[in-house]
Structure 1
């Protein structure tokens, strides 16, 4: 141990400068903790203080006791910040689902989709239409003769028509169409001339008819194909809405965890800055004691400046992450969010076979490819049906009264039954191309759909395997990062002791500090990356809603009531 009493005289000036940079009140508690952990360094400081006497603390021109750059943030009241919104991840997800324009737009689209589905599914419902009509007209004419002829003749005709027609048509799955019509019409004509006359006529009657295609356009498979297409389209629409919800949830999760990452980095940057300040103080103590070269103070100050820069970068990263989350939640841009979700590791080990089975049952891309293949087959059947001969069985019957005045009224009825046949025989030119092109297109589309389904399954199997392996690899990375951090922490404690004993250079000690911080950042990042890999696997398997216990509702009754009112019955239920 050096003789500090003999050094006190010539070391007085550097020590005064050191004490000018050494706060008393805030550091007293730190000295107490240091005395417990590092008794050697505490004894060295005590001897230096005894040698210099009790000196008043001298501040620099800026009033900064430490000599380091200080960041003084105004209070929330001074900034006018809103009340801090505390959210865990589950609360953030539910908040996004309650108020999200993209989701509302998707549900508005569902109103249109269900309206179209209702129209398609009512194909075999009776169509009722009532058509009242009326019109009136006046026409006049005149005839002028030569000078020695008769006087001019003038005439005017007034015509009034009125009537109401009620018609009902009904399609049946075999392709037949039944019709019924009730016609009530009256016509009145009045002529004004030298010999006035008036005439009225009217018709009251009904008619029924039917038409059944026997070849082209006939058969239940052909006529119910549109219902199957509508049902398949509805399945795709519902899954698309589900994926929209999943995409929104994943966006919230991603932004929330990005803010968690930024928050942890800020806390580590603040901790590193505190360690850098303490290291600078310890270095100055050792320099004053002659245990270190004066140049090492510059290295410690440079490290302190770098840590302050890192802290500012971490603050900016946290601000950007918070703005992204606020934007995702569609809150006011000035809203402040406090995260309450800790970075915790919950291990889940997925099994490839089970994940693949779920993906084949739920994945939208694969199921859409299956539907596309079925639609291509149905389209080919439709084309083949349209190439048949046009053979129809038709029948009709009508009955009614013809009212006339002054002529006598009469009853009229008519019936007919027949078969019509039309045979298309395109030989050459455009008719031949027009007949063959749909069949060629349908066959090629079917083959493409088959290949697309094979490709979709292969891609899905590959994606599931990749995501499962990514989860397993991410979990291994967490364990390795944990081990690295534990070892780095132990190494840092040894390095701190060796530095105090003068057995480690300043540069190496700073390197160990940075290594410990980087190891902690890597450990936190590995946990978040593992959680994100599970989220991505959930999205691929379309199990996100189940994971977060969110009930999926394929329509919103409030929007349907708002835009359709009493006509909501037009939607498919």
Structure 2
């Protein structure tokens, strides 16, 4: 069985080849120079699609679904007749007499929704021996209907209803697994994107330091700057080269993590091409909670678990009753024996049987256990609701704060860039020092990094909020095809 045929896919989506399209993506560093990342273009939608198709966690979840759905099929088969054939053939010798016996009994058994059991069999037997052979063929049927324990639709339908509720829980767990995997893929993708841009920022900072060294050399040649002033700039250049190498290592690590999540060849070169300019999202807590309580898989699943436990209490309560049943048995057919002729078989038995427990604490314990499980499940639902509210409120607050930080970070970066430009102009005019320019360069590098982190952090917070609301699949228009 190929479980990959039922892996979920985004809808609607364009036709995609089995491999990523090859290209190279050029990125501007912000000062006119570029870094060229060679590899296969990978948008965020591509990453999500490939993750759904190849992620091992999702594939494992779909493999588990095969067993889970078959378990439901078994439970729903409870009230269907079950057919079977039993038989025996034997050869026996006692002293100088030999005999051969053949018994064949096809039949079926059936449980009705009221709790009645029906057993039917057609017994055929043949015995070959000397001095005479014997044959018999007769059907027998037995019916037993509980009157107290085991009687009624509620009790007998409970196993099927429990299995159906369990199937709903399993589907919700599958949704949760896929949602978490999508969120993890998105975060891993943005880690690659962030590492690419950090590398661009490091390269741009290195080039600005090299430009500053050129200015220093020109001023030294003109006699307007002492030669020792260039030493600090040269040290800063080496530090920036180290930062570029570290950024490359971070990018490689992030790339490997993403490729592993997508189950792609780790030698694959990829280029993240998504835009990181975020848009503000409204975070009305009342509306968010309304969505979360109607979509969260764990909350809905716990509601089904409560219903399962309620059915368990119903069954356990029924087990406390006396076992009283009406029964009837009938057997009819013929038997033949050489020398004696044939006889008709006609037997009918009917009656009432009962079992009255006196001090069976085991059955009472099952009721106590079922009741406590139901109460604990109800409390667990309240705990899950409280946890959801804490998560949603916390993440919504984080989203709002990150948006404010993003605004401040953009202003800080713009001002830091202006300060560096002004200070370089003052250095050319002999009104500043290399140390002052480098200090402002350090502030610019920090503000650029903070701005990038704020953008990625804001987008990741929205992804986390989407996951906490239980709307990840709806956001990405994913059809589970389960």
Report the TM-score, using the length of structure 1 for normalisation: 0.75
CA distance in 1 between partners of 2:204 and 2:330 (Å)? 95
Measure, in 2, the Cα distance between the counterparts of 1:371 and 1:273. 59
Q: Give the counterpart of 1:466 among 394, 397, 400.
A: 394
Specify the alignment match of 1:5 in structure 2: none
The answer for unaligned runs of 5 or more in structure 1 is 1-32, 34-74, 77-82, 142-154, 191-196, 555-573
For 1:324 and 1:517, the matched residues in 2 are separated by: 26
2:405 is aligned with 1:477:
yes
Q: CA deviation at 1:308?
A: 0.9
Query: Do residues 85 (structure 1) and 25 (structure 2) align?
Result: no
Contact 2:128–2:134 (8 Å) recurs in 1: yes
Measure, in 1, the Cα distance between the counterparts of 2:363 and 2:120. 35
2:247 to 291, 314, 321: 314
User: Counterparts of 1:13-412 in structure 2 under 5 Å?
Assistant: 84-131=39-86, 133-141=87-95, 155=96, 157-190=97-130, 197=131, 199-412=132-345
Offset at 1:162?
2.0
Whether 1:437 and 2:365 are equivalent positions in the alignment is yes
Deviates more, 1:172-181 or 1:306-315: 172-181
Q: What does residue 449 of structure 1 align with?
A: 377
Per the TM alignment, residue 397 of structure 1 is displaced from its structure 2 partner at its CA by: 1.8
Matched with 2:417 is: 489
Residue 553 of structure 1: SS of its match in structure 2? coil
The equivalent position to 2:433 in structure 1, one of 486, 502, 505, is 505
Question: How far did 1:279 drift?
Answer: 0.4
Moved over 6 A (4+): none
Distance (whole Å) between structure 2 residues aligned to residue 450 and residue 94 of structure 1: 38
Alignment RMSD: 2.0
Aligned length: 449
> For 1:500 and 1:257, how far apart are their aligned partners in 2?
40
**Aligned equivalents of 1:109, 1:355: Cα separation in 2:** 32
Deviation at 1:411, TM superposition (A): 0.5
CA contact (8 A) 1:136 1:158 kept: no
Q: 1:448: how far off? A: 1.8
Instruction: Please give the per-residue CA displacement for 1:403-428, whole angstroms capped at 9, x wherever unaligned.
Output: 211221100111122111221111xx
For residue 134 of structure 1, report the CA deviation from its aligned partner: 4.0
Residues 134 and 160, structure 1, Cα contact 8 Å, conserved in 2? no
**C-alpha distance in structure 1 between counterparts of 2:62 and 2:466, whole Å:** 23
- What's the offset of the Cα at 1:309? 1.0
The answer to whether structure 1 residue 540 and structure 2 residue 480 are counterparts is no
How far apart are the structure 1 equivalents of 2:481 and 2:469? 19
CA–CA separation in structure 2 for the residues paired with 1:181 and 1:436: 37
Aligned 8 A contact 1:206 1:399 in 2: yes
Deviation at 1:229, TM superposition (A): 0.8
SS at 2:479's partner residue? coil
Deviation at 1:439, TM superposition (A): 2.8
Greater mean alpha carbon deviation, residues 363-372 or residues 542-551: 363-372
For the residues of structure 2 that align with 1:445 and 1:328, how far apart are their CA atoms? 38
Q: Is the 8 A contact 2:172 2:298 kept in 1?
A: no
- Tell me if the contact between 1:394 and 1:418 (Cα under 8 Å) persists in the aligned partners: yes
Find the residue that maps to 2:480 and give its secondary structure.
Answer: coil
Q: What SS does structure 1 have at the residue aligned with 2:133? A: strand
Tell whether the 8 Å contact from 1:376 to 1:445 is kept in structure 2 after alignment.
yes
* TM-score with structure 2 setting the length: 0.89
Instruction: State the distance in 1 between where 2:102 and 2:279 align.
Output: 79
Distance 2:380 2:181 in 1: 28
Q: Which whole-Å deviations, capped at 9, do the CAs of 1:115-166 have from their partners, x for residues lacking one?
A: 11100011111112233x342323243xxxxxxxxxxxxx2x2222223222
Higher RCO (Cα < 8 Å, 6 or more apart): 2
Greater shift, 209-218 or 331-340, is seen at 331-340
Describe the SS at the equivalent of 2:481.
coil
Deviation, 1:532, is: 0.5
Shift of 1:85: 1.9
Q: Which runs of 5+ in 2 are unaligned?
A: 1-31
> Which is higher, the Rg of structure 1 or of structure 2?
1
Distance in 1 separating the partners of 2:88 and 2:120: 22
Which residue does the alignment assign to 2:15? Answer: none
**Partner-residue secondary structure (3-state), 2:349:** strand
Deviations 1:516-555 (A, max 9, x none): 122122112111111111111111122112212221222x
Question: CA shift at 1:97, angstroms?
Answer: 1.6
Offset of residue 267 of structure 1: 0.6
